[in-house]
Amino acid sequence: MIRNQWYVVLESKEVRQKLVGVKRLNENLLFWRDETGKVICFVDHCPHRGVALSAGKVLDNHHVQCPFHGLEFDNEGRCTVIPANGFSADVPSNFYIKRYLTHEQDGFIWIFWGDEAKSVEKPLFFSSLSSLAYRTRQDVWKAHYSRVIENQLDCAHVPFIHRKTIGRGGNTLVDGPLVTWKGDRQMMMYVFNKKDDGTVPLKPEQLHEKDEDEQRIEFIFPNLWQNFIQAKMRVVVAFVPVDGETTIMYLRFYQGFLMIPILESFLFALFMPYNLKIAHEDRRVVETQQPKVSALMMKENLFQADLPIVEFRKKRDELLRNSKNYFA
């Protein structure tokens, strides 16, 4: 996992006033909201004797209290009182909890997983989604998040894995695909699969970007993906790393066609199970991939259609090298 990145880790509605302990990015983390409603994220580990603070409680919407010996911490993670030393005693400066910066937007919660001083910009998100309605489902995959992401950048698998759903029609020949970059963190992928007509696949440089309102796939590093089906219909996925072998997919279906609640519910009732069914067609094979973690230099034999995966691996490798963390 790449340090010093903004990761989507939860949905807003999962964090209310109470303490929420979850495993993310291979760490036990604690989430809560202070009196202003701001989401606070701490490492879920009391600096006294290692108890999970998530078993404690929030005091006055402003402090977290450890359940074991009652130490209290403010929203910056500083210990404000050690009851056994007396309420008037000073607290030594080594009594603090590691905190991660948070950002909340469009119903998602991000943390800056790394060194606060290195967070210069706010996280990116996909544009013009705020006028659309959405529903989210969580889906647990027993796979490293790099493999789960790569599956969503893989256009050669569609007519095989999704033979009976989105891959009907046998479009096995992959022209390109074409990959372009929007800034440093956002990858756009244009797919041109077709029936095998006996020709050789076109090279990416023989293809052109589609119009702005046509279908494309977008990926924002490190863990956000969008299938832009059309302006009013999108699928957005946050690939949330739990540990090295577990990823939770936060799968969202957005639509802007039916905004009357009862019709909206009808549409979601139709599409959410369908999207999950497609995801499970993928999950069955991705969970078998070895090695568990993908890498730029690894023993795989790739072909032209794998270009988006190569682009993903190159950028991931660069970010890993920059963050000096090779244990990803």
Does residue 72 contact residue 81 with C-beta atoms inside 8 Å?
yes
Among Fe ion, ligand FES, none, partner that 282 touches (CB below 5 to 8 angstroms by kind): Fe ion
Site string for ligand FES, 62-101 (x = CB under 6 A): ----x-xx-x------------------------------
- How far apart CA 9 and CA 241 sit, in angstroms, is 8
- The angle formed by the CA atoms of residues 137, 223 and 23, to the nearest 5 degrees, is 70
Of 119, 138, 128, 117, the C-alpha closest to 7 is 119
At its nearest, how many Å lie between ligand FES and the CB of residue 32? Answer: 16
Among ligand FES, Fe ion, none, partner that 66 touches (CB below 5 to 8 angstroms by kind): ligand FES
At its nearest, how many Å lie between Fe ion and the CB of residue 247? Answer: 15
Span from 74-82, 113-121, 277-285, 289-297 in contact with Fe ion (CB under 5 A)? 277-285
Cis peptide before 222 (omega within 30 of 0): yes
Residue 328: Cβ within 10 Å count:
19
Is there binding between residue 49 and ligand FES (CB under 6 A)? yes
Among ligand FES, Fe ion, none, partner that 78 touches (CB below 5 to 8 angstroms by kind): none
Is there binding between residue 224 and ligand FES (CB under 6 A)? no
Does residue 57 contact residue 44 with C-beta atoms inside 8 Å?
no
Three-state helix/strand/coil letters over 152-212: HCCCCCHHHHCCCCCCCCCCCEEEEEEEEEECCCEEEEEEEEECCCCCCCCCHHHCCCCCC
- Mapping DSSP to helix (H, G, I), strand (E, B) and coil, where does residue 247 land? strand
Span from 19-27, 86-94, 176-184, 280-288 in contact with Fe ion (CB under 5 A)? 280-288
Q: Which of 3, 23, 48, 62 binds ligand FES (CB under 6 A)?
A: 48
Q: Name the site residues for Fe ion (rule: CB under 5 A).
A: 282
Write out the residues near ligand FES by the rule CB under 6 A. 46, 48-49, 51, 66, 68-69, 71
